Amino acid sequence: MKKIAVLTSGGDSQGMNSAIRAVVRTGLSNGFEMFGVRKGFKGLMNNDFIKLGSKEVSDILYRGGTFLQSARSEAFKTPEGQAKAIEHLKNKGIDYVVVIGGDGSYRGAQALQRQGIKTYGLPGTIDNDIPLTDYTIGFDTTLNVVTDAIGNLRDTMSSHERVSVIEAMGRNCGDIALQAGIASGVDAIIIPEVKADINKIAADLKAGFERGKSHSMVIVAEGAGKAEDIAKEIKTLSGLDTRPTVLGHIQRGGTPSVFDRVFTSRMGHEVIDLIKQDIVGVALGIESNKITYHTFDEIFATENKINDHLYQVFQDLI
Ligand code: F6P
């Protein structure tokens, strides 16, 4: 009987629970023995396994976070750390490991794969910064959280005729800022992939107020700058009253959206199918609404790019 372990690693994201549930329940339906590893690769090194039955994954589909918990582990990057993890897997007779996490977690998964463990990746990060998938797990929920927050800020900015400068997460990727910005009809989007002309932004915002606008909203991706600095700069250049807001970890919580729940259910189902076919060393994604997979090597060889068309859509709508 195949024995499969699942773990979540790196920054958590909404929909990880749904992905775990789908992997576990589909595995069980196929007669496999399923295990969870607590606290990501750290748990793998510390032999922190739990046996998972159907009941253990009930009531988690609609919960944010990850009930297996997550961690970022420096020790797992060392050959000694990896050797320990492999020893525990071998002792338990576990041949397959499903890693739900982002770029760093995929590196860990690839290291295991190279040492003979059959490994799979599911793209768990709010950042949407993994190549060869249109969406990562939690990205859609985060967009909804950010869009709601921008709506709240707009109310108070209007009452005081202010400019709101909102900092979104995303590491070096501007996708959260770009798509939440489009969904919120903001006045400017500042992302690492496109050089911002702050003088033009300030002049445009000023002109907007002169035309009678009561508020302006600017979203900045954390990889492109700090809300506080940009708010100060806009105030200096335009004389407008500005307020910075860093959304922070609030973006990583909340009940996963329907999209995140459905697509993670599909991916969890598919990964068991790949295990049955003995297709190994791959990470799954969703491309044009199809669940797809690529080797870790292919993913690392592909550059993650901003969607230029979406950026153009934003430009044409302001
Ligand atoms: O990768 C997810 C992410 O939320 C990034 O957007 C952010 O830069 C980082 O993690 C924050 O990390 P931590 O939760 O360790 O502070």
pLDDT over 70 percentage in the chain: 100
Q: Are residues 16 and 111 both part of a single domain? A: yes
Q: What is the DSSP letter of 10?
A: S
Burial classification of residue 51, based on how many CB atoms lie within 10 Å of its CB (0-12 exposed, 13-18 middle, 19 or more buried) = exposed
Q: Are residues 196 and 260 both part of a single domain? A: no
Q: Are residues 166 and 192 both part of a single domain? A: yes
Average pLDDT along the chain: 98
249 CA from centroid of ligand 1 (Å): 8
12 CA from centroid of ligand 1 (Å): 8
Q: Are residues 114 and 154 both part of a single domain? A: no
Q: Are residues 78 and 164 both part of a single domain? A: no
Q: What is the DSSP letter of 124?
A: B
Residues 298, 304, 308, 309: is their CA dihedral positive or negative? positive
Q: Are residues 119 and 262 both part of a single domain? A: yes
| Total Cβ atoms within 10 A of residue 130 | 25
For the chain, the 3-state helix, strand and coil shares in percent, each to the nearest 5, are 50, 20, 35
137 CA from centroid of ligand 1 (Å): 14
129, part of any domain: yes
Confidence of residue 61 (pLDDT cuts 50, 70, 90): very high
308, part of any domain: no
Boundary (domain end) residue, out of 236, 253, 270: 253
**pLDDT number for residue 208:** 98
**Nearest atom (ligand 1) to Cα of 171:** 8
305, part of any domain: no
Task: Give how many domains the chain has, as a whole number.
Answer: 2
The CATH number given to whatever domain includes residue 182 is 3.40.50.460
Among residues 316, 318, 307, which one has the least CA distance to residue 191?
Answer: 307
Residues 67, 264: Cα–Cα separation, whole Å: 15
Q: Are residues 130 and 19 both part of a single domain? A: yes
**pLDDT number for residue 13:** 98
Q: Two tokens at 265?
A: 């259910």
| Active-site residue list | 127
Query: In terms of residue numbers, what domain contains 92?
Result: 3-138+256-300
Of all protein residues, whose CA lies closest to atom 1 belonging to ligand 1? Answer: 11
The CATH number given to whatever domain includes residue 105 is 3.40.50.450
Of all protein residues, whose CA lies closest to atom 12 belonging to ligand 1? Answer: 11
Contact 20, 35 (CB under 8 A): no
314, part of any domain: no
Residues 134, 118: Cα–Cα separation, whole Å: 25
**pLDDT number for residue 84:** 97
Residues 265, 224: Cα–Cα separation, whole Å: 33
Q: Are residues 228 and 276 both part of a single domain? A: no
261, part of any domain: yes
Q: What is the pLDDT of residues 105-145, one digit of tens each?
A: 999 999 999 999 999 999 999 999 999 999 999 999 999 99
Q: What is the pLDDT of residues 176-232, one digit of tens each?
A: 999 999 999 999 999 999 999 999 999 999 999 999 999 999 999 999 999 999 999
Q: Are residues 208 and 280 both part of a single domain? A: no
Residues 310, 230: Cα–Cα separation, whole Å: 23
272, part of any domain: yes
Q: What is the pLDDT of residues 229-283, one digit of tens each?
A: 999 999 999 999 999 999 999 999 999 999 999 999 999 999 999 999 999 999 9
Q: Are residues 14 and 97 both part of a single domain? A: yes
Q: Are residues 223 and 294 both part of a single domain? A: no
Record the pTM. 0.97
**Which residues does ligand 1 sit against, CB inside 6 Å?**
11, 102, 125-127, 169-171, 222, 252
317, part of any domain: no
Q: Are residues 29 and 52 both part of a single domain? A: yes
